[in-house]
Chain A
Amino acid sequence: MARELEVLAEGQGEYHRVDPDGFREWVRDHKQRAMVPKLMSAKEAVERFVQDGDYIVYECNYIQRGPAALIREIIRQGKKDLWVGAKFTWVDVALLVEAGCASKLDVGFFLFGPVVDRAVKEGRVKIYEYSNVVMTNRIKAGAMGLPFIPVRSFGGTDGFKYSGAKLIKDPYTGQPITIVPALNPDVALIHVHQADIYGNARVFGTGISDVESALASRKVIISTEEIVDTEEIRNNPGITAIPYYCVDAVVHLPFGAYPGEMAGRYASDVEHVVEVVGATMRGFVRQYLDKWVYSAQDHFEMLDKLVGWRKLQEMVQRATIKEGYLP
């Protein structure tokens, strides 16, 4: 006997399409089961796998192990209308908005400033409200192949009203419970310590939801500090964080998290971080992009021309903590 589920309240926010069967079909039709080499340049990976209008996720950019070089490449290529899952993000949203790349934001946390403020007030950018944990829970649901996930947080907040959440009566306990839509992003950008050419990837240290994002996303671009042999992966399978068949592109990008830290390998460029935070807070993001992104053809030219060997060496030397960051 069918009974209708009781919806007690619902948010009015638009949310990314929920379609677990569509996602399964995407996996069936597009994800490579065979071990095929996926090594390519950042330029090629972004050209092939990031389309205008895509929903993208990443995390900790410009802080630690963020996919900073991939995001700069997206900005160089001038991608449009991206919907950004801004969980545990920082200055990158301002960079993407100033560059005209982003038009929708699901917000957990990001560094607000005049650039995003103006874009929101002029209607160029729309914000939907969540929290960091609700966003990672949504991605978890996407990574489980489910349409939604119940959460014990978020209920009663004003964010709820501007999100895709619903409050329902739990058919098992009879108590009210918040449910949020699963998130299957179009693109995940993930920077890792080590990967082989097929995309088997290792991540050392803490993170937010990179592994879930890799599983939940239609297209996955891995950038890696180091390419390792598959034999090396097979010698220690317990530390493979992301399996090859989720991955669409592997990009070898040493210092790919610059100016953020890569735990165990290099410390952050503190001056650069302070500069970009200042630019975000004061609204000088255009100047920042001109200086650090548009002036170089790619990541390597930026490292050569603007950062330099001396700075990189100094960052490497300051990364004195190694425990936990080596296989």
Chain B
Amino acid sequence: MKKLFALFFAGFVVSAAYAQEAPDALVQRVTDDVLEIIRKDKDIQNGDTHKVIELVDKKVLPHFNFSHMTALALGKEWRKASPQQQQQLTAEFKTLLVRTYANALTGYKNQKVVYKPIKMAPADTDVLVRTEVLQPGSKPVQLDYSLEKLESGWKVYDVVVAGISLVTNYRDQFAQEVRNGGIDGLIASVAAKNKSLEANSKK
């Protein structure tokens, strides 16, 4: 009986630790959190890229699945890449995406985010969370997140702005690089891009 109780208790603790926040609630919490910080931070509003990247690293990154994102961006070639190449490319692409995302966050001011009701069944493991960014004087901008359910919780694997996937938009560019220099050539190109951006932002 004692054993059973211990087992039950252990199970309870584990399930509490892994209690999964619903995907739409997760998106809303993280977005509200990040926007709140940006609204209060004058440095970020004045375009301090490093500070936003730090913020994105801390608040947003844990909820992204970058290897899935990289696989999506690369398409069929992903399966031909060695595990090491996959890892390297994921690391470089992650740096680039974080910067892109950070830039997108600093660029917009005076915006308001509206969360659309989500359509999902309890058994779903892949959902789309739809939001809309409202700006005075312009059309609302659609901002959608694709999430998948992993053991560690819901993870974002695609961000779609006005119908443009920030991930699959790389597909042709990646394919071009692979044609020119193979997977290693692609890794080198993305790494070089990251390096030059880093050098520029230090100036």
A and B: partners? Answer: no
Q: Which residues of A pack against B, CB within 8 Å? A: none
